Amino acid sequence: MFNKKLHTLLFISLTLLFTACSSNKNSKHSPSPYRPLNLNNKSVSFKNGAHDGCTTAAEVYKKDHEAFNNNFEYNEGWWAGRRNCEGREYAAY
């Protein structure tokens, strides 16, 4: 009986110890998974939007509001750049 209690206590203690030391992949200090945007065959408007969206994701708000509201490719590029660079510490475009 005592041996079973000891094993249970040891198991619980080790479980708590190892879970307390696990890493958090969603931590602000670790970048999110990053895959570079494929900008081949994209228009200049899309590329400009992607650059501005990525810059915005790096916490420096940048957007050409007129192009965002009136140019579909800039708009799509801006959202793609923002989603792609979210959680990164710097902009790469």
> pLDDT digits over 19-36, tens only?
665 454 444 444 445 567
Q: Roughly what angle, to the nearest 10 degrees, separates helices 72-85 and 44-57?
A: 40
**Residue 13, C-beta contacts closer than 8 angstroms, at least 6 positions apart:** none
Task: Estimate the share of the chain in helix, then strand, then coil, as percent rounded to the nearest 5.
Answer: 55, 0, 45
- What pTM does this model have? 0.58
Residue 16, phi then psi, degrees to nearest 5? -65, -40
Helices (H), 21-71: 44-57, 65-70
Q: What are the tens digits of pLDDT across the range 36-49? A: 788 999 999 999 99
